[in-house]
Structure 1
Amino acid sequence: MSDRREVWITGIGLVSSLGEGLEAHWSALNDGSRPVIDETRFAPYVVHPLASVNFDQQIPKKGDQRQMEPWQRIGTYAAGLALDSAGLKGNKEILGATDMVVAAGGGERDQAVDGAILTEIENQAAPDVFLNEQLQSNLRPTLFLAQLSNLLAGNISIVHGVTGSSRTFMGEESSGTDAVRIGFSRIAAGTSEIALVGGAYNAERRDMLLLYALKRLAMHAPWAPVLTEPKGVPTGSAGAFLVLESPEHATARGARPIVKLSGVWSDRAKRGEPGAVEKVLGMLVDAARAAGDTGEDAQTAILSAASGAPDPTRAEVAVLEKSGLPVRSVTDRVGHGLEAQMPVALALAALSVSEGRLFAPLAGEPMEKPFDGPLSRAIVTAVGHWRGEGVALVERAD
């Protein structure tokens, strides 16, 4: 629409199993090595563990670190990297007007209590009564303030001074898509000038692995590429935040764009209907291909944030194959970060477009073909492991 403004990405903060920062990720994506995978600590399940991070670099107060759960530390750290990247650290005036949209899950559970209940409930004559009793004594998540989802935004505000409006979205992969979509839409519509958007996930926690396992969705070792062999979700610890900004605001403070965010689309297919995911995702991809620079010289690739859950990933693969575009799997490199997956994939897409080329194919992933041409556009696809479909488009900013 002609009355909508451009939206620039002026800062990116990224931490995952591949390292921290854009330079470390670009090097890891192109060195041809196997992804960083842990198949023993949480056996039989596959996890992409977080790289070694010195949290003191972005969260200097030990007291702040101690009151955060791991996923909050990951997110607060990634947010600090994004603000550094955008040249905003310490600028109280701009940070005070910076909006924030965060994708977050619930807090981490008491694993000892959960384990004891799962063991004992099998021996109960009235398991429903037993569970209700436990809810009144041991399982009281609403009383653990450290587990509230909006505390990631709160910690970012405290540590980094981002004190504009704040929104937190929950809802698996869709929350990551909508966090970016809302930030993008507000800037494009002129109701916001600058926003910090993103999310974080700690995969190294048995409570979430248990949930995936109970749904028969957790990837068992050995690791396998998700697009070729979608046998389960290989969860990955990661955090990614993006600074979104209007061109007018960025130019006024002397900032340049890394890339341009040209659109974010989300939907929710009726998963019970055959072909519904393919239809919805296909329409979203078509919308992205028609948006932005559609000239003949536009070189486009797709970065897939596919979860690895068998049925939805097969549906996503069908759309990717039909597109005819070169494909790269984000999940194969860093694992799946649930709420953080769309921001992580967008960060890698923005990195690729800013470099003007696609990173190397992954050995053992036949869907990934060599691509030597210049890259000016990247479409990100993200199909939720049980609901929600999202697509985003980043383009070169000339």
Structure 2
Amino acid sequence: MATATNRDVVITGIGLVTSLGEGRDAHWDTLRAPGRHAVVDETGFAPWPVHPLPALDLDRQIPKRGDQRQMEPWQRLNTYAAGLALDDAGARDLVADMHLMVAAGGGERDLPLDEQVTAALAEADGAEAAGNGARLNEMLATGLRPTLFLAQLSNLVAGNISIVHGVTGSSRTFMGEESAAADALRIARARIAEGRGEIALVGGGFVGSRWDMLVLFRGGDGLWEGPFQPLSGRGEGGMVLGGMSAYLVLEAAEHARARGARVLARLDAVATDATHRTAPGESATAAEALLARVGGPAPAVISGTPGTPSAWAEEERFLQTLGGAAIRRSGSLLGHGVEASFPVNVALAALALSRGGFYPAMDPADAGEAAAPDRILVTGFGQWRGEALASISRPDTARPDTESPA
């Protein structure tokens, strides 16, 4: 039984947007449908395929056009998904005391200005090139509009969620790609379990259809080039970025019961690490250590492997230690959303548990069956570092033996 300092934490709301659509119903129906396939744009950002975001009716969650205009697409996506989660949890009247934890990257860049700057610097030679530093500063100072510069501040995502939806409890923004999302979820859960809050909104979002992100992750052969292939069909590997966002409403179980909330699943534990892969097996070993902290293997697994070669090899090594678990690699259908992927996969796990079912194979390498698992393990392996595991269970089952919140 949970103690006063290790209370059960449950998921009562999911706000989910991916290339497959928005909301719990759309994702359950699509992911369970026979013959479903990934939604991919292979031409708009060639040679790199991407999973694009669906069209969103922003007025539903961001009613003021002025608020919409002052946000970039990345911020609008986060704010939209956060609103979906609040509605799903029936928690609009609880926002004044709700804690907010956001995993965020950097804002979008002014690509035309970037192109002007790089072209000017590339053409400079001799004495002119020696003054490139001063020239760069001048071009940025005179070319960047102030609103764009401010939009790149990561904590403005939480600020916009607070402004639009009125979430005015404590606010924390985490940066650090995949690790940021796992730590946001881990700390949100720990605070509620330890009695330092009753309800929290936690999540992140990522827009994959961005030239600046594609160029950034292209370094080190990070992206898959050419016609789309599922994860297991990419040979030497590479990510296909995907637009996605997921926000979860977490509550102390007693708090949810007291207000008569519908409980989707129980978040048993989240454990994280940040192993820098310098030798084969180091990352898999780190994940095996995390496994003991979240209660051991589960009958079903949703894998968050991004598809980069080192991460793919390490996660495959780890997955082989899980026995006969039913494994589903969601990245083959949704792509990789960096700081959004981990909360998206936790949302998919909670969705399956709430519906009393599981998903058909998402990748040709997926194996095992679990018609109605009572517990699902979610893995997270960053493209560079960011190992994480989460254990999610049906709320009516015994909680696995996990470590105390960290």
State the TM-score, normalizing by the size of structure 2: 0.90
Q: Which residue of 1 aligns with 2:6?
A: 4
Q: Which residue of 1 aligns with 2:74?
A: 71
Question: In the alignment, is the contact (CA less than 8 A) between 1:227 and 1:313 conserved in 2?
Answer: no
Change (3 A) 1:23 1:134: same
Question: In the alignment, is the contact (CA less than 8 A) between 2:280 and 2:314 conserved in 1?
Answer: no
Change (3 A) 1:131 1:361: farther
In 2, the alpha carbon distance for the partners of 1:130 and 1:61 equals 43
Q: Which residue of 1 aligns with 2:312?
A: 313
Q: Aligned ranges for residues 5-24 of structure 1 at < 5 Å?
A: 5-24=7-26
In 2, the alpha carbon distance for the partners of 1:132 and 1:185 equals 48
What residue identity is the alignment partner of 1:215?
G
In 1, the alpha carbon distance for the partners of 2:37 and 2:239 equals 18
Task: Tell me the alpha carbon deviations over residues 20-57 of structure 1, each in whole angstroms, 9 at most, x when there is no partner.
Answer: 00110011112232100111000010100001211111
Q: Which residue of 1 aligns with 2:65?
A: 62
In 2, the alpha carbon distance for the partners of 1:141 and 1:193 equals 42
Q: Which residue of 1 aligns with 2:201?
A: 196
Q: Which residue of 2 aligns with 1:253?
A: 259
Shift of 1:310: 1.0
What residue identity is the alignment partner of 1:366?
P
Where does the alignment leave 5 or more consecutive residues of structure 2 unmatched? 397-406
Q: Which residue of 2 aligns with 1:175?
A: 180
In 2, the alpha carbon distance for the partners of 1:312 and 1:142 equals 38
Q: Aligned ranges for residues 200-211 of structure 1 at < 5 Å?
A: 200-211=205-216
Q: Which residue of 2 aligns with 1:301?
A: 300
The 10-residue stretch of structure 1 (111-120 or 8-17) with the greater mean CA deviation from structure 2: 111-120
Shift of 1:225: 1.8
Shift of 1:131: 4.7
Q: Aligned ranges for residues 1-398 of structure 1 at < 5 Å?
A: 2=3, 3-31=5-33, 32-89=35-92, 91=93, 94-125=94-125, 129-131=131-133, 133-138=135-140, 144-229=149-234, 231-290=237-296, 300-324=299-323, 325-362=325-362, 365-398=363-396
In 2, the alpha carbon distance for the partners of 1:211 and 1:376 equals 39
Question: In the alignment, is the contact (CA less than 8 A) between 1:101 and 1:167 conserved in 2?
Answer: yes
Task: Tell me the alpha carbon deviations over residues 88-109 of structure 1, each in whole angstroms, 9 at most, x when there is no partner.
Answer: 12x1xx2100000000111101
Task: Tell me the alpha carbon deviations over residues 69-121 of structure 1, each in whole angstroms, 9 at most, x when there is no partner.
Answer: 101111111001100010012x1xx2100000000111101111222333444
In 2, the alpha carbon distance for the partners of 1:133 and 1:247 equals 58
Change (3 A) 1:136 1:382: farther
Task: Tell me the alpha carbon deviations over residues 362-395 of structure 1, each in whole angstroms, 9 at most, x when there is no partner.
Answer: 3xx3321251532111111111111221111110
In 1, the alpha carbon distance for the partners of 2:52 and 2:161 equals 23
Change (3 A) 1:352 1:125: same
Question: In the alignment, is the contact (CA less than 8 A) between 1:10 and 1:258 conserved in 2?
Answer: yes
Secondary structure of the residue aligned to 1:368 is coil
Shift of 1:65: 0.6
Question: In the alignment, is the contact (CA less than 8 A) between 1:227 and 1:317 conserved in 2?
Answer: no
Change (3 A) 1:247 1:228: same
Task: Tell me the alpha carbon deviations over residues 199-255 of structure 1, each in whole angstroms, 9 at most, x when there is no partner.
Answer: 111111111111112332122121122245362111111111000000121122111
In 2, the alpha carbon distance for the partners of 1:378 and 1:355 equals 13
**How many corresponding residue pairs?**
386
Question: In the alignment, is the contact (CA less than 8 A) between 1:121 and 1:131 conserved in 2?
Answer: no
Task: Tell me the alpha carbon deviations over residues 338-360 of structure 1, each in whole angstroms, 9 at most, x when there is no partner.
Answer: 11111111111111121222111
The 10-residue stretch of structure 1 (22-31 or 349-358) with the greater mean CA deviation from structure 2: 349-358
Where does the alignment leave 5 or more consecutive residues of structure 1 unmatched? none
Question: In the alignment, is the contact (CA less than 8 A) between 2:299 and 2:370 conserved in 1?
Answer: no
What residue identity is the alignment partner of 1:62?
R
Question: In the alignment, is the contact (CA less than 8 A) between 1:227 and 1:314 conserved in 2?
Answer: no
